[in-house]
Amino acid sequence: MEQIVIVGGGLAGHRAAEALRKAGFGGAVVLVGDETHRPYDRPPLSKQLLAGSMTADETLYRVSADANVTWTLGQAAVSLDRDRQVVRLADGTEVPYDGLMITTGRRARSWPELPELEGFHVLRSLDDAAGFREAVSSTSRVVIVGAGFIGCEVAATLRGLGVTEVAVVDIAPFPMPVLGAEVGKRAITLHEQNGVRFFLSTSVSGFAGQGGRVSGVDLADGRSLPADVVLLALGSAPNTEWLEGSGLELLDGAVLCDEHCVAVGTSNIVAAGDVAAWPHPQAGRPICIEHWAIARDMAATAATNLLADPGGRASFATVPTFWSDQYSVKMKSAGLLAVADRFEVVEEDTEKPSLVVEAFRGQELIGAIVFNKNKAIIGYQRALAGQLAGAR
Ligand SMILES: Cc1cc2nc3c(=O)[nH]c(=O)nc-3n(C[C@H](O)[C@H](O)[C@H](O)COP(=O)(O)OP(=O)(O)OC[C@H]3O[C@@H](n4cnc5c(N)ncnc54)[C@H](O)[C@@H]3O)c2cc1C
């Protein structure tokens, strides 16, 4: 291979470039990214960056000069021609490749048919974060639609910033539903103790506006919440429109890969990170796992597999891990919680607070969640990794 093109300049793209060099690839590495920024870390956007304890510059990944990457930033890939092995960019340039790495991640979902009012925000990129931070700096009433991780983290950070009225709305009965009801109940208590109001098991029926700005959120149960700023934290969708017509197989919009991170039906295209669906051994089907550590590790495996002969490729099988910071609580999880059908509290100290919850599928321990229990989660991670290795 003489030239490898990486499309998508986030965590997975950055790690992919480094891994190619680490594996000894001496050809050209071209990284195409639609953002103008060099690759940066997204988790601080809802935490330290929003809180003001980190600058945008500090979120940028340090890229060693040895990586020798040709950067094509501020340019989206708009199509892929697999017969000619070229990626076409928005300005019409064609970038040829011998090997292609797809790391285009996901974007924040917006609200369908959003009224033309100012005051709506999403949080996925550095630019989103700058706009949102500016908006909340002069407001006292924020409604967050969506009680997933980003919604909950932002609620916590806003209260830390002194925003007086922070309300979170979700159709689910608990925040962060993938963590189960036991964690969900405790998360409600944690946020309510810190002044956040939850409106759960209800949906948004519409938005009110005044003078061209959003002024409130109407709920399906008849209540109305005043708002100066609304954060839409509604999950994400894969950035794969540019692959339409390429013949690559997609699953719910994500690039369908085999266990080696190779795009199904190809031999010189791999995908990694949030954009990839792959067969995790415990899932029994291809899934997307939108965790920072998955993007980091999958990019390294995908890069080395792209360089390897088909017979020498390694499987990507790992215990998913995740963290979230809310107030003084460091939440961490290990395991494939999406397939759990039962959650059990095994240890709790409401004063600290600390918590250990185990997640099961039938009788099988499938994962664990902790609050402020770092050592415990490392233990679960090791046990689950042993289980995974034994099953292969
Ligand atoms: C606010 C926030 C907080 C988070 N907090 C946590 C956390 O606490 N813990 C955790 O485990 N995970 C967290 N995550 C998730 C984690 O950041 C992601 O899993 C990780 O960033 C995925 O990396 P990626 O490289 O796959 O995608 P991304 O980081 O999204 O990078 C993809 C890049 O590709 C670009 N791109 C898209 N389409 C094109 C195109 N056509 N052409 C060129 N470029 C394109 C995108 O603009 C982007 O720059 C958080 C995410 C967000 C948004």
Please state the atom number of ligand 1 nearest to the C-alpha of residue 44: 3
**Residue in the block written with tokens 């340039």:** 93
- Per-residue HEC secondary structure of the chain comes to CCEEEEECCCHHHHHHHHHHHHCCCCCEEEEEECCCCCCECCHHHHCHHHHCCCCHHHHECCCCHHHCEEEEECCCEEEEECCCCEEEECCCCEEECCEEEECCCEEECCCCCCCCCECEECCCCHHHHHHHHHHHCCCCEEEEECCCHHHHHHHHHHHHHCCCEEEEECCCCCCCHHHHHHHHHHHHHHHHHCCEEEECCCCEEEEEEECCEEEEEEECCCCEEECCEEEECCCEEECCHHHCCCCCCEECCEEEECCCCEECCCCCEEECHHHEEEECCCCCCEECCCCHHHHHHHHHHHHHHHHCCHHHCCCCCCCCEEEEEECCEEEEEEECHHHCCEEEEEEEECCCCEEEEEEEECCEEEEEEEECCHHHHHHHHHHHHHHHHHHC
Please state the atom number of ligand 1 nearest to the C-alpha of residue 42: 17
Distance from Cα 36 to the centre of ligand 1, integer Å: 15
Q: Which CATH superfamily is domain 110-232 in?
A: FAD/NAD(P)-binding domain (3.50.50.60)
Distance from Cα 10 to the centre of ligand 1, integer Å: 6
Residue 1 near residue 23 (C-beta atoms within 8 A): no
Please state the atom number of ligand 1 nearest to the C-alpha of residue 89: 42
Distance from Cα 106 to the centre of ligand 1, integer Å: 6
For the chain, which residues make up each domain, given as ranges? 3-107+236-312, 110-232, 328-391
pLDDT at 67: 83
Nearest CA to ligand 1 atom 53: 124
Distance from Cα 311 to the centre of ligand 1, integer Å: 31
How far is 156 from 151, CA to CA, in rounded Å?
A: 9
Please state the atom number of ligand 1 nearest to the C-alpha of residue 322: 11
52 — alpha (psi -120 to 50), left (phi > 0) or beta?
left
pLDDT at 358: 98
Which amino acid type is present at position 92? G
pTM of the model: 0.97
Distance from Cα 124 to the centre of ligand 1, integer Å: 7
Pocket of ligand 1 (CB under 6 A): 7-13, 32-35, 42-43, 45-46, 76-77, 103-106, 123-124, 150, 239, 242, 273-275, 290-293, 295, 322-324
Judge residue 26's burial from the number of C-beta atoms within 10 Å of its C-beta, 0-12 exposed, 13-18 middle, 19 or more buried.
exposed
Asked: is 3-107+236-312 a CATH 3.50.50.60 domain? The reply is yes
pLDDT at 64: 78
Nearest CA to ligand 1 atom 6: 43
Please state the atom number of ligand 1 nearest to the C-alpha of residue 15: 25
Please state the atom number of ligand 1 nearest to the C-alpha of residue 13: 25
Distance from Cα 215 to the centre of ligand 1, integer Å: 30
pLDDT at 215: 98
Judge residue 64's burial from the number of C-beta atoms within 10 Å of its C-beta, 0-12 exposed, 13-18 middle, 19 or more buried.
exposed
Residue 172 near residue 358 (C-beta atoms within 8 A): no
Nearest CA to ligand 1 atom 26: 273
Distance from Cα 144 to the centre of ligand 1, integer Å: 20
Nearest CA to ligand 1 atom 4: 43
Please state the atom number of ligand 1 nearest to the C-alpha of residue 325: 8
Distance from Cα 11 to the centre of ligand 1, integer Å: 7
* Radius of gyration, alpha carbons of the chain: 22
pLDDT at 220: 96
How far is 182 from 158, CA to CA, in rounded Å?
A: 25
How far is 352 from 168, CA to CA, in rounded Å?
A: 25
Same topology, domains 3-107+236-312 and 110-232? Answer is yes
How confident is the chain (392 residues) per 10-residue block, as mean pLDDT? Answer: 97 97 96 96 98 97 86 97 98 98 97 94 98 93 98 98 97 97 97 98 97 97 97 98 98 98 98 97 93 98 97 95 97 97 97 96 97 97 91 70
Asked: is 328-391 a CATH 3.40.50.11810 domain? The reply is no
Please state the atom number of ligand 1 nearest to the C-alpha of residue 276: 26
Distance from Cα 270 to the centre of ligand 1, integer Å: 17
Q: Which two tokens stand for residue 30?
A: 């071209």
